[in-house]
Amino acid sequence: MRTFGVEEELLVVDADTWRPLASGEGVVEQAASTGPHRLTVEMQQEQVEVIGPPCATLPEQLATIHQGRLLADEAARAVGGRAVALATPVWPGSPSLVPDERYRRIRQHVGLLADEQLTCGFHVHVQIEDREEGVAVLDRIRVWLPVLLALSANSPSWYGVDSGFASYRYQAWSRWPTVGPCEIFGSLQAYEQQSNALLRSGAPLDDAMLYFDARLSATFPTVEVRVADVCMDPVHAAVLAALVRALVETAARQWGEGKPPRPVSVAELRAWTWQASRFGVDGLLVSPTRGNPVPSGLVVAELLHLLQPVLDEYGEFDLVRTVTAAIVEHGSGARHQRQAYARSEDPADVVDIALSIGTPRLPQEVRARTGTDPAGAHEQAQAG
């Protein structure tokens, strides 16, 4: 089984007002230095990133996500804040750049983009044998990435305004020059040629700014899928990570069997991804097998049908099917945010629901939603 790990970007909010708190550096300083997780700063002081260790199983991944969120929240509490799984800010305002030389260079390079950039994504790393296999995987998973975005959608707000999108994070993030789907490369050489051409253009300052929706990691022997919002519910996050791993394994097998990737253009994929960003699972998604919009549940079912052989081998199919069905029926974080806000039109209610669903507070909550109590995970997922 391929190992897989996740990186979660979380917002930092004031523990009393629930408004954004510019204390990311302080949160990282307060984090415990022991254990497998790492807490790092991101571009803005109002966010932090939790980097989890590689995992072998879905229950292990769920426990790891819980532990990472606990670590971030405990460190945030130490500076008068909380760490919350929201993918965009729900209050009006402007973020504060972390005083790092690289971030200053980026700010000078991209201007207003950096001034407004406060988004939290969910990045999944999956082990690969080598970079050639990695490119073959990228070529074959690209048509399914919009479905992953729809399942994760958790960003209807943009600085206190309802954007009309399920994932406005993806729209804000797509303004950067290298974000989005890639064409079919066909070889590692072609992947490296395009990466080098983009770097020569000067639009990205370095290879860390090659923000493709899925890419080869420059640091680890992994494929890194970056299309998703951070999920409000950690169960959703763990299942999304399991879907990504199964998708990578399935794509690698297709490559080994000589099956070519689906010949879908970048222009089409941009349209498909826009559709997923706009409506999430609450509208139509473009089916990669049919090429036209159909109800989201049908597209999710197509993805599960493709991945079932691998998910069955890993013993994950039943839980993945249950949780994805719950997301389609009850909505992703975007719908929960809108429902919370509708009660009194107070952004604090959105933070309340995100903390309630997404941030574990007691050790028994972790046990109830890991492999030690699968029923607890099922009940939580079905409850929305």
Q: How high does pLDDT run on average in the chain?
A: 93
- The residue type found at 141 is I
Strand locations in 68-213 (E): 81-84, 121-127, 157-158, 161-162
pLDDT at 34: 64
pLDDT at 275: 97
Confidence of residue 22 (pLDDT cuts 50, 70, 90): very high
Both tokens assigned to 210: 């090659």
Tell me 280's DSSP state: G
Q: Residue 148 in 3-state DSSP?
A: helix
pLDDT at 361: 60
pLDDT at 35: 80
Q: pLDDT tens-digit profile of 131-174?
A: 999 999 999 999 999 999 999 999 999 999 999 999 999 999 99
Rounded CA separation 177/165 (Å) = 21
| 78-82, 188-192, 206-210, 358-362: segment of lowest average pLDDT | 358-362
pLDDT exceeds cutoff 50 at 80: yes
Rounded CA separation 358/384 (Å) = 11
Rounded CA separation 163/190 (Å) = 37
Taking every pair of Cα atoms in the chain, the longest distance, rounded to a whole number of angstroms, is: 57
Q: pLDDT tens-digit profile of 120-129?
A: 999 999 999 9
Give all domains of the chain, ordered by start, each with its CATH number.
Answer: 4-382 (3.30.590.20)
Instruction: State which H helix or E strand residue 256 sits in.
Output: helix 234-256
Task: State percent of the chain over pLDDT 90.
Answer: 91
- Residue matched to tokens 């473009």: 286
pLDDT at 285: 97
Rounded CA separation 157/5 (Å) = 28
Scored b (16 or more CB within 10 A) or e, 135-161 reads bbbbbbbbbbbbbbbbbbbbbbbbbee
pLDDT exceeds cutoff 70 at 380: no
pLDDT exceeds cutoff 80 at 362: no
Confidence of residue 366 (pLDDT cuts 50, 70, 90): very low
**The residue count for the chain:** 384
Do 85 and 8 contact (CB within 8 A), yes or no?
yes
Number of H helices, E strands in the chain: 16, 11
- The number of beta carbons lying within 10 Å of the beta carbon of residue 297 is 15
Q: Say what the pTM is.
A: 0.93
Instruction: State which H helix or E strand residue 141 sits in.
Output: helix 131-141
Rounded CA separation 166/338 (Å) = 10
Do 262 and 145 contact (CB within 8 A), yes or no?
no
- The residue type found at 100 is D
CB neighbour list of residue 100: distance below 8 Å, 6 or more residues apart? 41
pLDDT at 360: 74
Q: Residue 321 in 3-state DSSP?
A: helix
| 29-38, 130-139, 191-200, 317-326: segment of lowest average pLDDT | 29-38
Both tokens assigned to 191: 């992947």
Task: Read off the pLDDT of each residue in 323-348 and give the average, rounded to a whole number.
Answer: 97
In terms of C-beta density within 10 A (0-12 exposed, 13-18 middle, 19 or more buried), how is residue 164 classed?
A: exposed
Closest by Cα among 101, 99, 20, 35 to 70: 35
Q: pLDDT tens-digit profile of 243-258?
A: 999 999 999 999 999 9
